[in-house]
Amino acid sequence: MSASTDIAGLNTRVEPAEAEYRRAKQREALRRKLLPCLGILIGIAVWAGLVEFLKVPPFIAPSPLVVLETLIAKSDVLLSNLWPTVVEAVGGFILGNLFAIALATLFVHRKTVSETFFPLVVLINSIPVVAKAPILVLLLGNGFAPKVAIAAVISFFPTLVNMVRGLEAVNPQAMELMRVLSASKREIFFKLRLYNSLPYLFSALRISASISVVGAIVGEWIGSNYGIGALIIQATYAFDSALLYATVLVGSAFSVAFFMAISLAERLIIRWQPSAVA
């Protein structure tokens, strides 16, 4: 009898503490969301204040309000130029990553091929994008193809490197287990290496999602009259700073959305706790 009252007494003391803990946690979560928003608002306010106070002419830099007006007024122009960039970036992302995953698989299974061609891949990767772009434009002409190719080339490398690492960084005892079970190379690949590589793959995909957008835009700078990249160039030459800023905003919004889509996919697919990924 006395034991049960003791437990009840304990509960009454514990519950308020738990509730307080949960409230504190909620406050902390809210804080983490609100503070970055506040930072952005302060940034915009400082920008607006500077443009107003220093009387910056509109062809040098616009005030945020004008950019917002342009975003709404020219939304049709912006959107019709966003779609080609989206197609190029996403197309290049898919192409480059599929090729990287295939090549990583080959590299892991054929050491000679890896040792022969990996240095060449590193060499090609060391050429800056802005230098690679004109070469691909000459090779592939003026349409979608060179932009997709540039986005593909730029997303290819981080995935190749990370995928090779992920496929190889398998727990040695798990490898021994597979051998004790007489698993074939194919089974080892699909049951062990591939799963092991997924966390590595996703950390590469997040990088290549952002940089594939950069690749598409750079491709459009070189030779194009459509897309976010082309619009940036046109707005710059026309001293239309409001359109320039609006275009940049649309471009980065897409880049962020792409990145977040990949992060979401990662959270949906990787439900286990990966052993430390470098």
Question: How many Å apart are CA 146 and CA 91, to the nearest integer?
Answer: 11
Least Å from the CB of residue 130 to other proteins: 40
The distance of closest approach from Cβ of residue 249 to other proteins in the complex, given in angstroms and rounded to an integer, is: 39
Question: By C-beta, is 101 or 150 nearer to other proteins?
Answer: 101
Q: Whole-number minimum distance, CB 270 to other proteins, in Å?
A: 8
Beta-carbon count within 10 A of 144 CB: 19
Q: How far is the CB of 267 from other proteins (least distance, A)?
A: 14
Q: Measured from the CB atom, is 10 or 177 closer to other proteins?
A: 177
Question: Which helix (DSSP H) or strand (DSSP E) does residue 5 occupy?
Answer: helix 2-53
Residue 69 buriedness (CB in 10 A; 0-12 / 13-18 / 19+): middle
Number of residues forming the site for other proteins (CB under 8 A): 24
Site string for other proteins, 154-193 (x = CB under 8 A): -----------------x-xx-xxxxxxxxx--xx--xx-
Q: Does 275 bind other proteins (CB under 8 A)?
A: yes
Q: What is the C-alpha separation between 166 and 271, in angstroms, rounded?
A: 17
Cα separation of 257 and 273, whole Å? 25
Q: What is the full DSSP assignment across 125-176?
A: HTS-HHHHHHHHHHHH-SSHHHHHHHHHHHHHHHHHHHHHHHHH---HHHHH
- Here's the x/- map for other proteins, 62-101, by CB under 8 A: it reads as ----------------------------------------
Rounded Cα gap, residues 194 and 105, in angstroms: 9
Q: How far is the CB of 179 from other proteins (least distance, A)?
A: 6
Taking the least distance from each CB to other proteins, the nearer of 195 and 226 is 195
Q: Is 2 in the site for other proteins (CB under 8 A)?
A: no
Q: Which of residues 197-216 bind other proteins (CB under 8 A)?
A: 198
Helical (H) or strand (E) element with 85? helix 75-109
- The answer to whether the CB of 201 falls within 8 A of the CB of 274 is no
Local structure of residue 240 (DSSP, 8 states): -
Min CB(93)–other proteins separation in Å: 25
Token pair, residue 195, equals: 């799963």
Give CA–CA dist 230/84, Å, rounded.
11
> Which residues, numbered 108-137, are part of the site for other proteins (CB under 8 A)?
none
Q: Is 265 in the site for other proteins (CB under 8 A)?
A: no
Q: Select 87 or 188, whichever has its Cβ closest to other proteins.
A: 188
Least spacing, CB of residue 203 vs other proteins, in Å: 16
Give 184 or 225: the residue with its C-beta nearer to other proteins.
Answer: 184
Catalog residues that contact other proteins under the rule CB under 8 A: 171, 173-174, 176-184, 187-188, 191-192, 195, 198, 270-275
